[in-house]
Amino acid sequence: MIKPIQIALAPTRNRALNMFLGIVLALASLLLLLALASYHTTDPSLNTSIDPVSSLGTVPTVKNWAGPVGATMSDLILQIMGFTAFLLPVWMGVIAWGWM
C-alpha cells in the first residue's frame, strides 16, 4: 500500500513557534496593507527627491501611515507589482492564518 505524502502547511513542527510566526506574519501583512493603502506620491522614497529641510526650516512630513519605511516599501512594491500589490498582504494573511 502506498502512503500519501503529507504536505506541511506549517513552517516548523513546534506548535508554539508556528503560532508565533503566524502572528508575526499577520502583523507584517497588516503593516504592508496600511502602507499600501496610505501611499502618497509626494512621500519621500527611492524615486522621489525632496529637500530634507525646506527653506522655512521645517522637515517635510510623511503622509504614509507606516512612516518613512512604509512610504519607501509601498512605493517600491507598487512600482514592481502595480495594483496587484494589494493582493500580497491578503496572501500573507491567508498563510499566517494557516500557520496559526
Q: What is the pLDDT of residue 13?
A: 82
Q: Which residues of 60-89 are buried (b: 16+ CB within 10 A; e: fewer)?
A: eebebbbeeebbbbbbebbeeeeeebeeeb
Residue 100 is predicted with a pLDDT of: 86
CA-wise closest residue to 28 among 75, 63, 69, 76: 69
- pLDDT of 15 strictly over 90: no
Which residue is associated with the grid cell 506549517?
10
> What percentage of the chain reaches a pLDDT higher than 70?
80
Report CA-CA distances (Å) from 14 to 7, 21, 23, 27. Answer: 16, 11, 14, 20
Q: What is the rounded average pLDDT for all residues in the chain?
A: 85
Mean predicted confidence (pLDDT) in 69-76: 93
pLDDT band at 96 (very low <50, low <70, confident <90, very high): very high
Q: Quick one: average pLDDT of 63-89? A: 93
Residue 44 has pLDDT above 90, yes or no: no
Judged against a pLDDT cut of 70, whether residue 7 lies above it is answered with no
